[in-house]
Structure 1
Amino acid sequence: MSSRRHGSQSLQRLLGHWQETASRIPLWRQLASALRLLILDGRLALDSRLPGERELAAVLNVSRTTVASALAQLREEGYLESRQGSGSRVILPEHIHRVPTRTSTSMALDLSTAALSAGPEIHQAYHQALCAMPQHLLSSGYLPQGLLSLRETIAGHYCERGLPTHPDEIMVVNGAVSGLALILRLLTGPGDRVVVDHPTYPLAIAAIQGASCRPVGVSLPEQGWDTAGLVATIAQTSPRMAYLMPDFHNPTGRCMDDATRQTVADIAAKTRTTLVVDETMVNLWFDAPPPPPLPCYNADAPIIMLGSAGKSFWGGLRLGWVRASSRTIAALVQTRDTFDLGSPVLEQLATAWLIENAATFLPERRQQLARRRALCGELMRTHFPEWTFSQPAGGLSFWVELPDTLATQFATHAESAGIQLGTGTRFGLAGAFDRFLRMPFTHPDDTLRAAFSTLQPLWDGLRFQTGVGKMRKII
């Protein structure tokens, strides 16, 4: 099967404002840096092919020599592979695949990922899981719906939050994104539209596009959600489903209030639009827990819930779940045959222990995140007074607005200094949100301080080059 080919217009949108006219850096090096960032950022998919040199030069309004030099540099660095008559294919250099040690002076600091490292409770959970493992070794281990004991634990957790749930209404999957892909396989077909918040979680966009569906964004206003826009979009596009993240939304960190949840649930019930609600951040609140789950507001609304152990506990568990009607769960179990045969038993046992004992360690985890949130906000006010951001009520990151469309350029500079940034374009459709960065506060204090000290002169240099000097008030 031939690999996907990026159109020149699509690549132009992804590149955004990549040229720095006041810079002394040669244009071909600027283009190489911008393309390298797209590859490292995941926006140029591995194995995809770039447009030809002549076509790319025409759409970017540069010489073919500039394009050829940039592509040659990326080939030399191991980011592209070219064959006569086949164009350039996106790859990763071999050294990228190796995990550097903490003592490595060339190790990149990843500020593009918002996730915590494992706490001591993870080791304890696996110890308990190994002790419980022998009784399961006599079975085949293939459990397409998931271990009953874990489903009972997850169902009990929903009941505690005010949503009566039976174990038959739970299915264990290999992470929330895997659950979303499974739901898309069941409910959608090629060309179907899926409504999403705009911005939204980038892997959700990838899953929707991977299912050959078309994501349709409903822009988020300054605060809250645009329910009138949701109604209008559903009426105009007749989507097969909508994907929402009401609890400490990724990337904005906002939490949907009671009134909005009622309105959204009523919209779903009236239009019969299936809502897929991602609750992966639901346990990461700081001041107060979020309102009850969305299905509590209208029993007639077709709502499927996605949960995950990754953000609350540890990403290495790679375990999530789907909460839906028992009929939908049965259909998902049948559909799963095209994906896998079930989730690992050991991880399921460990996750069950973590959920059952969450009250003993999650409060401390939330307090740690709240302290890091405060430090990260203080550092941004000190080092980058032009940046605008709101304090998130929960989650793992800030959504930062820059004074101009500089995110991609800034990330290119940061990448050259060994720091990877999450540009806003990752969270938008068609290259939107180049004014934004997602800034995680999950790293230790010393790491955050060192990162911002490194980034400040890069930002000041970019601001000088582009003439951005207007100070903006921090919310």
Structure 2
Amino acid sequence: MPCDKWTELVDPISRLTGNQASNCDKLAHMTRGRIGARALRDLLGDWRSDAPAYESLSDRVRLLLLDGRISTGIRLPAERELAESLELSRTTVAAAYRRLREAGFAASVQGSGTTTQLPHGRPGLPAVTGTLIGFTHASLPATKLLSTVLDDELLDDYRGHFGTLGYDGIGQPELRAAIADWYGRRGLPTDPDQIVVTTGSQSAIFLAAKALVNRGDRVWAESPSYPNAYDALRDAGARLITTPVTVEDGWDLTSLEAVFQRSAPTVAYTMPDFQNPTGRSMSVHDRERFLEAAAAAGTIVIADEATSEMDIDRRAVLPPIGTLADAHGAEVVLIGSASKQIWGGLRIGWLRATPQLARRIATHRGSSDLAVPVFEQLVVSRLLPRSAEIAEERREQLRAGRETARTAIAELLPDWTFPPRLEGGLAAWVNLGAPVSSQLALAAHARGLLVAAGPRFGMDGAFERNLRIPIAADPENLQRGLEVIAELWPSVNRLARPEFESYAGTVA
């Protein structure tokens, strides 16, 4: 499709949703391995700091690479093109590109321009001081129950599979039965034939997207949302359209219904319970409105329930969204994960669909993997029946993390706003009060703290005022990490003060 036709088709939706992703530069980024100057400018956001312009520019591009907002192997805009877009001199852009090449984040080939890459070995972070602390993954250590099932009986069962080929495209029967029982206990009767086991929930999202999305299809997703889900949907060829979900108000159902009615997305991706990163859960009323809108538009819903068991003290008793689907005529594919409940080292996820759709999805796995490791499946099949015990253990861990983060932020970072109703989930979507999330993440990298900037969870540089703080982190590391941020905050926050506005518009 020609670029002008693409823009003509998508721009009305962009205006309705506030999503400005669909322009020619971004189309080129997706289809020809390059990113245009306007698209890069949007991703850069408020990139200037009190460092020289070429350093600030190269640092922000490096952060976009580390965050995954720009892929490796992408050709950056020509120096003159980017200089004009950013109102800089070509010398400044050339110096920024040279700094990226020297740090291993770019390479130049004569006739091909400057292409992004990551340095060999550890991905080129600045020299760090002290022990590395990671805030980029919202996940918990292994449940204490894991060691209780690693016994001789499990090993004997494992040995019993040695006579097989070890390849099973849908999952071991005992695990699919355990997953079906898990759904049954949650009020959703399920047959094992409805289950496809995958290597983690991300693999399940990827498989569902590959089976359900054709290149160019419109796909709805929340904003902000789980960034790897955005990536999987884009890889399947989706044209993403979004509507907001906020800490304060949850889902904007009015905008969602308008988008569904107008654009009839092929697929909709949602996290109805303890949404990542906001932590919000859909009310029963919102679940019903959402499903009605999807059914009316003929949209298949991919409901990611990877965090559904991460309840701390949610006051409402909410039915799983799958239990409401039939009453509203909606088709829902459910995504689940043992990696969040049990341990990230057990790469086990699954999806639940109708038997026919489950078989259709399973046929697409050959290009990504052929089967799921047998041993991990046997482990999970023994632990899922004890999910209530695991949920209680997680509840106490997450409560401790939430209170550590809430207290530390109130004491060390009083300008920040901690979510007033964080009833569960693995992270807090904190408002910084200033659009400096990327700059803060970059400064934290240099201090040995890995933080995903707010825009990683949105599109087109949005959410610079937000930072995801993982309450699943060890409380001691959580406290230390927030202390590092508190030390950096005064210098980073200066960039948002009015006296810096004139600087932001200068030409270097």
After TM superposition, the score normalised by the length of structure 2 is 0.86
Q: Structure 1 CA distance, aligned partners of 2:360 and 2:111? A: 45
Whether 1:185 and 2:203 are equivalent positions in the alignment is no
Specify the alignment match of 1:472 in structure 2. none
Specify the alignment match of 1:170 in structure 2. 195
In structure 1, give the amino acid aligned to 2:415: E
Question: Which of 243, 248, 253 matches 1:227?
Answer: 253
CA contact (8 A) 2:311 2:391 kept: no
CA contact (8 A) 1:241 1:274 kept: yes
**2:122 partner SS:** helix
How far did residue 241 of structure 1 move? 0.9
Specify the alignment match of 1:333 in structure 2. 362
Whether 1:318 and 2:363 are equivalent positions in the alignment is no
Question: Which of 460, 465, 468 matches 1:430?
Answer: 460
Q: Cα RMSD over matched residues?
A: 2.1
Specify the alignment match of 1:81 in structure 2. 107
Range that drifts further, 80-89 or 345-354: 80-89
How far did residue 445 of structure 1 move? 2.3
Specify the alignment match of 2:449 in structure 1. 419
Specify the alignment match of 1:152 in structure 2. 177
Specify the alignment match of 2:405 in structure 1. 376
How far did residue 6 of structure 1 move? 1.4
Range that drifts further, 117-126 or 177-186: 117-126
In structure 2, give the amino acid aligned to 1:450: R
How far did residue 133 of structure 1 move? 0.5
Structure-2 change in CA distance of 1:88 and 1:126 (3 Å): farther
After TM superposition, the score normalised by the length of structure 1 is 0.92
Specify the alignment match of 2:275 in structure 1. 249
Specify the alignment match of 1:28 in structure 2. 54
Runs of 5+ unmatched residues, structure 1: 470-475
How far did residue 36 of structure 1 move? 1.3
Counterpart mapping for 1:33-44 below 5 A: 33-44=59-70
Counterpart mapping for 1:268-307 below 5 A: 268-288=294-314, 291-299=318-326, 300-307=329-336
**1:264 partner SS:** helix
Q: Structure 2 CA distance, aligned partners of 1:340 and 1:184? A: 15
Question: Which of 469, 476, 486 matches 1:446?
Answer: 476
In structure 2, give the amino acid aligned to 1:406: V
Whether 1:65 and 2:94 are equivalent positions in the alignment is no
Q: Structure 2 CA distance, aligned partners of 1:259 and 1:273? A: 19
Specify the alignment match of 1:110 in structure 2. 134
In structure 2, give the amino acid aligned to 1:309: A
Whether 1:130 and 2:152 are equivalent positions in the alignment is no
How far did residue 215 of structure 1 move? 1.0
Q: Structure 1 CA distance, aligned partners of 2:208 and 2:191? A: 19
- Seq. identity, %: 36
In structure 2, give the amino acid aligned to 1:171: V
Range that drifts further, 126-135 or 36-45: 126-135
CA contact (8 A) 1:282 1:290 kept: no
CA contact (8 A) 2:224 2:277 kept: yes
Specify the alignment match of 2:3 in structure 1. none
CA contact (8 A) 2:260 2:294 kept: no
For these two proteins, the number of residue pairs brought into alignment is 461
CA contact (8 A) 2:409 2:418 kept: no
CA contact (8 A) 1:407 1:437 kept: yes
Q: Structure 2 CA distance, aligned partners of 1:129 and 1:277? A: 32
Q: Structure 2 CA distance, aligned partners of 1:365 and 1:184? A: 30
Cα distance per residue 1:321-357 (max 9 Å; x no partner):
0101011011112222333222111111111122123
CA contact (8 A) 1:408 1:434 kept: yes
Q: Structure 2 CA distance, aligned partners of 1:131 and 1:107? A: 41
Q: Structure 1 CA distance, aligned partners of 2:43 and 2:133? A: 23
Runs of 5+ unmatched residues, structure 2: 1-30, 500-508
Q: Structure 2 CA distance, aligned partners of 1:83 and 1:331? A: 43
Structure-2 change in CA distance of 1:302 and 1:435 (3 Å): same
Cα distance per residue 1:398-422 (max 9 Å; x no partner):
1011222111122222222222222
CA contact (8 A) 1:7 1:50 kept: yes
